[in-house]
Every structure is written in structure tokens, then in C-alpha cells.
Structure 1
Amino acid sequence: MINRKKEILIGIVVGIIATFIGMFFYSLYSASTSNLTQETAIKVFFEQGKLGHLISMGAILNLLAFFIFLKRKQDYRARGVLLATIFTAIIVLILQFI
């Protein structure tokens, strides 16, 4: 039982880290196409109210982590990544109404 919780927690952490890495690379891509610094690009996302867009684009890397865990038959870690993705979707939904 404890092992399952540990595996799910590992999946959640991997999902959150993958989202932040995806956000980093997407903001880097946006900055390079707009001739801005990465910090300025993130500020522009925030000022335009598109922070949810940045987060959701970053969460695309969770697909990669999810399918890698499934392929390795690490179902509980895949479940953790799925939970992190659902949590990310809820945050994006909340940001749409703020």
C-alpha cells in the first residue's frame, strides 16, 4: 500500500516537473520568435492574461512522461502523472475566470 502511494507521488512530481520544463521551453520559443528575452516573454503572457495558455502548453510534456511510464508498465507512476495533469487543468480553468 505504501509502495503504491510512493509510486503515485513520484508520478505527480514527474508531472509537475515536466510541466515546468515544458513552460520553460515554450516561453523560450516564444521569446526567440518575438525577439524578446525569456523573462519579458513570461511577463507578456502574464500581462495579456495568457498565463493559462503558457501552463497548458507546458503540460504537453506530461503526455511523454505518461506514455513512457505506461510502456515500462509503471501504471501507478502514470496515474500520478495523470493526477498532476488534472491538477494543472484545474489551475488553467481557474485562471480563465480570474
Structure 2
Amino acid sequence: MNNKEVIIGIIIGLLASAIGLILSLLFFGNGKSISDSLNIALAQGVFTKLVSIGALLNLGAFFLFINTDKESRAKGVLIATVIVALITIIIRFT
């Protein structure tokens, strides 16, 4: 296992989740801007749902790395998805 490849996968997974969150705020948000939509989502308690929807982009990255025989990067994306899931659970229940 190449640690550099796993770290690249983690970074790509976290970036994909962040981009997915922004896209979900744009599509499902009620505000006039991304920050306005973010504030509304936090106030209504649907932020964790939008984070979960945003993490769906990790599926594409994961399967791309699996199909191109880059298993270490796919492992990093999987680790990033678990990190996002844990953060979502922590935010949801605090």
C-alpha cells in the first residue's frame, strides 16, 4: 500500500464531498446565495441531510479509481467517506 496514494484519495474524497455539498445547497437550498442557503439549512436542521447528499459524489470517485486499478486511491476515498459520515453523525446528535 502506498501511503501517498491513500492520502491523495482522502483529499479527493473530501473535496468531492465539499463540492457535492455546494451543489446540493445550490439545487435544494432556499436562499439567494450559497451562504444564505447554508444558514437556512442549519436553522431548519437539514444540514446533515445535505452533507449526506453531497457525499454521493464520492461514489463516482470510488468507482473511477476501482475501474482504473488505483485501489489505494479508492481506499482513501472510502476513508474520506467514513470521515464525512462520522462528522455528520456528530453534528446530527449534538
Confirm or deny a common fold (TM above 0.5).
yes
Report 1:65-80 matches (<5 A): 65-80=61-76
Partner of 1:93: 89
Report 1:1-98 matches (<5 A): 4-31=2-29, 34=30, 36-98=32-94
Runs ≥4 residues deviating over 4 A = none
Deviates more, 1:16-25 or 1:47-56: 47-56
Q: Deviations over 1:53-74 (max 9, x none)?
A: 1211110000000000000000
The 3-state SS of whatever aligns with 1:40 is helix
Structure exhibiting the larger radius of gyration computed from Cα positions: 1
- TM-score computed with the length of structure 2 as normaliser: 0.92
Q: Structure 1 residue 30: deviation in Å?
A: 1.6
Alpha-carbon distance in 1 for matches of 2:51, 2:31? 21
**Could you tell me which amino acid in structure 1 is paired with residue 27 of structure 2?**
Y
Alpha-carbon distance in 2 for matches of 1:76, 1:38? 33
- Unaligned ranges ≥5, structure 2: none
Is the 2:31–2:37 contact (alpha carbons within 8 Å) kept by the matching residues of 1?
A: no
Instruction: State the aligned residue count.
Output: 94
Q: Structure 1 residue 35: deviation in Å?
A: 6.2
Alpha-carbon distance in 1 for matches of 2:54, 2:33? 18
Q: Structure 1 residue 37: deviation in Å?
A: 2.7
**Could you tell me which amino acid in structure 1 is paired with residue 18 of structure 2?**
F
Alpha-carbon distance in 1 for matches of 2:33, 2:4? 39
